[in-house]
Structure 1
Amino acid sequence: MSAVRTVLGDVRPERLGVCDAHDHLFLRSPQLPGQELQDATAARAELDAFRAAGGSAVVQWTPYGMGRRAADLPPLSRACGVHLVCATGLHQAAHYAPESLDALRGGPAELFVAELTEGIGTSGVRAGLIKVAGGFHALDAHARWTMTAAAEAHHATGAPIAVHLEVGTGALDVLDLLCGESGVPPYRVILGHLNRSPDPLLHRQAAEAGCWLAFDGPSRAHHATDWRMPDAMRALAEAGFGHRLLLGGDTVVAGARSVDGGPGMPYLLRRVRPRLALALGEELVERVLTDNPGRAFAVDWR
């Protein structure tokens, strides 16, 4: 049976509800000193605010080694009444101390599979997706290494692969590697941050390949491309790809949380949703927030 793997167990896709398809409750990186998401009380308040705005599910893309705090996720999910999905995988090399990657040189695929099927550390929480990352308009050796491992883990488990595209670039290189060289079905690949590179031709090519198209990061108001997101999504919907669109908030630093004065997770529903409804129609936006995530993250787990 196809199911979304949440931190409290597998859930049928139609029960996921209104979903933030890419966000973070906990995250730390040497690239973001002093801006860590590591306060469980603040995470609880943010989830409560998201729930009050009408949200019912959050997919956390924080991968291995970046402060996921997997053991904290089940009690947060129960307390707030929000489905949570946790990730395995690896981000760009810059987000890790070299010694932490050295321990995985034997092959991260084994780690990914274990976290998807057995659980993350001693938490017992099983991951529901694999998060990897590309580079700026290219794939470096680290990206190729992690994506190849992600493909191996996908073939072993069926798990979807979510890809951070650096400033929205490199999508076709990612698809060449994952779907071309490694044989991952395109419908199991989620391309993130397409809103940051509003290239209609690239969007159309990625859509025609059959993958999921995530516009995730509207809370980052400093991105000059954000105002183009409604037009980009409308163009894809009019071309027949509305069933492949996803939305997320991608809150990566403490100051971006709504409870700390930023837009945070509720912004996706409070401001982005009505704006997109004007461009796409309320019916399609509802499907993008509910039906599409349920299908994107649901797997016949092996």
Structure 2
Amino acid sequence: MVSAVRTVLGDIAPEELGVCDAHDHLFLRSPQLPGQELDDPAAARAELAAFRAAGGAAVVQWTPYGMGRRAADLPELSRTTGVRLVCATGMHQAAHYDAGLLGRLRGAGLAELFVSELTDGVGTSGVRAGLIKVAGGFHALDAHARWTMTAAAEAHHATGAPIAVHLELGTGALDVLDLLCGERGVPGDRVILGHLNRFPDPVVQRQAAASGCWLAFDGPSRAQHATDWRMPEGVHALAEAGFGDRLLLGGDTVVAGARSVDGGPGMPYLLRRVRPRLDAALGADLVDRILTEHPGRAFAADWK
């Protein structure tokens, strides 16, 4: 069986992905972010064009089920901009959903929904998801997180799909791995942990990396989070500890004002500002692998 990355235009070989933003959003809607929705196809097209102009070739969109993915728009955006796109299934924290929807899904089989979107396609769009996105809580896993992660593990075993995890403010990594890998038997290299830059605990990061999982450093820091200047030091320490082959980078644009075409850092920031800082800290060769080879390996699967 040949591993492939499942893009919105079909499966491709991992090495075809190119320079990749391994965690971002073209479309996203949540009651937690009223009035800040990413819901404009023209703006999404412009953002992808700006990313392409900066040297980008692929974007993995982590927007899961029920949060305004606009999956039907993704193939045309990929064709017109030349940027490869990967769509997600999965489910975020309960706060991002209507209680009625959550109630219906609890009785409908969440793992089956994920499997259907990975194999048959999202709704009537025909676009097959290429990863499962779930989320933990702040330093803990509540009942909702355990439910969604258990369903994600079942869907992984049924399809081979990788599982990407939103760590709330970067915390709870070891609890996530205990559940997914320890209790549910997901191989470590099929798990991507996001937002580790927001809680830069070097001990936890090394312990997590020892599981074989992927460590994603994603998004320009906000004022209340660990600031960007600490990230090069942190990833350098991981590389020195022997985990340089487990690293990913992303932009995580979640509100309209954060897009580069709307005056924010947006997707190009990853290549325009983050990459030069990491080149100086890690060397350009390793950063090239983090942006190209690593996403291809992390998001490829032996699809069942």
Name the % identity. 83
Question: Which residue of structure 2 aligns with residue 59 of structure 1?
Answer: 60
- Tell me if the contact between 2:197 and 2:226 (Cα under 8 Å) persists in the aligned partners: no
Q: How does 1:246-261 map to 2 (within 5 A)?
A: 246-261=248-263
For 1:171 and 1:97, locate their aligned partners in 2 and report how far apart those are by CA, in whole Å: 27
* Paired amino acid for 1:204: R
Amino acid at match of 1:289: L
Could you tell me whether the CA contact under 8 Å between 2:198 and 2:221 is conserved in 1? no
Structure 2: gaps (5+ residues): none
Give runs of aligned pairs for residues 5-24 of structure 1, distance below 5 A.
Answer: 5-24=6-25
1:32 corresponds in structure 2 to 33
How big is the shift at 1:213? 0.3
Q: 2-side partners of 1:145 and 1:224: how far apart? A: 29
Q: Deviations over 1:8-51 (max 9, x none)?
A: 00010001000000000000000000000000000000000000
Asked if 1 retains the 8 angstrom alpha-carbon contact of 2:200 and 2:226, the reply is no
1:198 alignment partner, SS class: coil
Match of 2:96 in 1: 95
Among candidates 123, 132, 141, match of residue 134 of structure 2: 132
Name structure 1 gaps, 5 residues minimum.
none
- State how 1:67-216 maps to structure 2 within 5 Å: 67-106=68-107, 107-216=109-218
The residue number in structure 2 matching 1:270 is 272
- Paired with 2:106 and 2:199, the residues of 1 have a C-alpha distance of 32
Inter-partner Cα distance in structure 2 for 1:13 and 1:221: 35
Alignment of 1:231-246 (within 5 A): 231-246=233-248
Q: What displacement does 1:100 show?
A: 1.2
Q: Secondary structure at the match of 1:62?
A: coil
Quickly say closer, same or farther: Cα 1:78–1:219, change in 2 above 3 A: farther
Q: Is the Cα–Cα contact under 8 Å of residues 219 and 267 in structure 1 kept in the other structure?
A: no
CA distance in 2, matches of 1:76, 1:102: 33
- Counterpart in the other structure of 2:285: 283
How many correspondences in the alignment? 302
Rounded to whole Å, the distance in 2 between the matches of 1:23 and 1:100 is: 25
TM-score, normalization by structure 1: 0.99
Task: Report what 2:227 is aligned to.
Answer: 225
- For residues 149-204 of structure 1, the C-alpha deviation after alignment (integer angstroms, 9 at most, x for no partner) is 00000000000000000000000000000000000000000000000001000000
Post-superposition offset of 1:225: 3.2
Structure-2 residue corresponding to 1:298: 300
Deviation at 1:103, TM superposition (A): 1.4
Q: Deviations over 1:205-263 (max 9, x none)?
A: 00111100000112646533322110110000111111100000000000000000000
The aligned amino acid for 2:253 is T
Change in 2 beyond 3 A, CA 1:234/1:48: same
8 Å CA contact retained: 1:243, 1:288: yes
